[in-house]
Structure 1
Amino acid sequence: MTVWYEGRLAGFDLETTGVDVETDRIVTACTVQCGGKQPTQSFTWMADPGIDIPEGAAKVHGITTERARAEGRPAAEVVEQLVAALTECVLAGQPIVAMNASFDLTILDREARRHGVQPLTDVVGRDLRVIDPRVLDKQIDQRRKGQRTLTALCQHYKVPLDGAHSADADAIAACRVAWRLGSTVPRLGRMSIDDLHQAQIKWAESQGRSLAAYFARTPGKESWADGVRTEWPLIPVQRGGGA
């Protein structure tokens, strides 16, 4: 029986206009299918998000408002194709690998609702399985100091990352980190993908509660506690959300 990290993995990453899952938009996206002793396949999109891209976001991913308007495809078209690509992966039995999955999957969900596209979770239902290197790393190495960004994880686990903060580079790097965790941490590697998915729901909730408690007792950060979300891998839509 093939263990999950030796099978086909579907990396997924977005670069966006900002970090608010309810109001920010997709700028670039990538899905990458790798592993399973098959050739790597990647698909990338650039969207015209329909709103200005803040200077700070453009500095991170390199896509300005002007470039997105000139080169990007209509956002609705990108969202529809992205949902279709991920649906194909899920229905083929591939877990979606996404760093900080609740951000990317929630942004995609809200964009789908915004543009009249059937959301991924509505299409695939309970078949969705997700691997989040951030959640896994925080669970198996809780006391390690320092950042838990994708760049930091790649450095820690000695995984190559070429072109950080481009969606295609980040998607393949997330898969590499997931593979490294599965192949070197026995208690992760021997779990079924179903059990691993369910475990991450509990781990992410615990990690979120711990972060909120840290903010609540840290002078100057108390107000941040209320903004911590513990749902994983998707933050449920709120009444009136997705605008």
Structure 2
Amino acid sequence: MKLNLKNPIVFFDLETTGTNINSDRIVEICYLKVYPNGNEETKTMRINPEMHIPEEASAVHGIYDEDVAECPTFKEVARNIANDIEGCDLAGFNSNRFDIPVLAEEFLRADVDIDMSRRKFVDVQVIFHKMEQRTLSAAYKFYCGKNLEDAHTAEADTRATYEVLMSQLDRYPELQNDVAFLSDYSSFNKNVDFAGRMVYDDKGVEVFNFGKYKGMPVADVLKRDPGYYSWILNSDFTLNTKAMLTKIRLREITQK
């Protein structure tokens, strides 16, 4: 099976200091870039997160403070990473809910302007859960017939994710070998922001997806309760959520 690609697609995996997309940082990133002609490029780099790596996180991925002490910070490599994924669609395992939001936060902290709104995101975990309901190691064994060695290292997980998607396409004829289809199929919601605090409703209108205004159009809430905007900007929401909310607010102001 060969992926039917219109654009290059980057399979990537992050190892981080934890699971909080607002505040945790990347300690390792690996990405596998697949071109429409089938050529592949891979890159793995350790990142100094500029914070202590909690012991419980190190116990999972095996990366400790001393392992990244001399490594570059994300800010120092952000532009190179952005260049590598420029014009590419993105894929991963649980990437829509974790890896992509974390990566977007890191780019924002590094003041690197990268437009991810036109990209397609394929989450292999969502396809797997819809079809089989298991973990990456089980998925690798189930689809590829191999044991996943070095699980929870970014490079091993990235390669396994790519191979699992190839096998999923072979196994399920209802899956179209098309990134646009796979992106749509592996999405639970039509998120406005990566954290899913705002989503598009059936009419394509941005609505809040949490709190007292859940299900209500964002633009209407900002008109009715202007203080809600300030509350979100001063609270523990992701930078991406705040940026998308600000974009909607500015759009509504300029349309008056």
Same fold (TM over 0.5): yes
Mapped pair 1:114 → 2:76: no
Match of 1:213 in 2: none
* Superposed CA offset, 1:197-223 (max 9, x none): 22322xx24xxxxxxxxxxxxxxxxxx
CA contact (8 A) 2:12 2:31 kept: yes
CA distance in 1, matches of 2:79, 2:37: 29
CA displacement at 1:79 relative to structure 2: 2.8
Q: Aligned-residue CA RMSD in angstroms?
A: 2.8
Match of 2:162 in 1: 175
By percentage of residues, which structure has more helix?
1
Greater mean alpha carbon deviation, residues 95-104 or residues 178-187: 95-104
Mapped pair 1:60 → 2:60: yes
**Quick one: which amino acid aligns to residue 172 of structure 1?**
R
**Quick one: which amino acid aligns to residue 138 of structure 1?**
H
CA distance in 2, matches of 1:6, 1:231: 23
CA displacement at 1:101 relative to structure 2: 1.0
Match of 2:244 in 1: none
Q: How many residues matched?
A: 200
**Quick one: which amino acid aligns to residue 167 of structure 2?**
R
**Quick one: which amino acid aligns to residue 108 of structure 1?**
L
* Superposed CA offset, 1:32-73 (max 9, x none): 124766443211111110000001111111111122113x11
Structure 2 residues without counterparts, runs of 5 or longer: 198-231, 240-256
Structure 1 residues 111 and 9: alpha-carbon distance in aligned structure 2, compared to 1, 3 A threshold: closer
**Quick one: which amino acid aligns to residue 104 of structure 1?**
D
Structure 1 residues 86 and 6: alpha-carbon distance in aligned structure 2, compared to 1, 3 A threshold: closer
CA displacement at 1:115 relative to structure 2: 1.8
CA displacement at 1:175 relative to structure 2: 0.5
TM-score (structure 1 length as normaliser)? 0.72
Structure 1 residues 78 and 61: alpha-carbon distance in aligned structure 2, compared to 1, 3 A threshold: farther
Deviation beyond 3 Å, 4+ runs, structure 1: 5-9, 34-40, 230-233, 236-243
Q: Report which structure shows greater RCO (CA 8 Å, sep ≥6).
A: 1
CA distance in 2, matches of 1:60, 1:6: 36
CA contact (8 A) 2:127 2:185 kept: no
| Identity fraction in percent | 25
Mapped pair 1:129 → 2:89: no
Match of 2:139 in 1: 153
Once the two structures are superposed, the pairs formed by residues 1-243 of structure 1 within 5 Å of their partners are 4=4, 9-34=9-34, 38-70=38-70, 72-88=71-87, 90=88, 95-102=89-96, 103-121=98-116, 125-126=117-118, 128-141=119-132, 144=133, 148-160=134-146, 161-188=148-175, 190=176, 192-201=178-187, 204-205=188-189, 231=191, 234-235=194-195, 239-240=233-234, 241-242=237-238
Structure 1 residues without counterparts, runs of 5 or longer: 206-229
CA displacement at 1:169 relative to structure 2: 1.2
Greater mean alpha carbon deviation, residues 102-111 or residues 155-164: 155-164
TM-score (structure 2 length as normaliser)? 0.68
* Superposed CA offset, 1:14-41 (max 9, x none): 0000000010000000111247664432
CA contact (8 A) 2:144 2:163 kept: no
CA contact (8 A) 2:48 2:68 kept: yes
SS in 2 for 1:48: coil
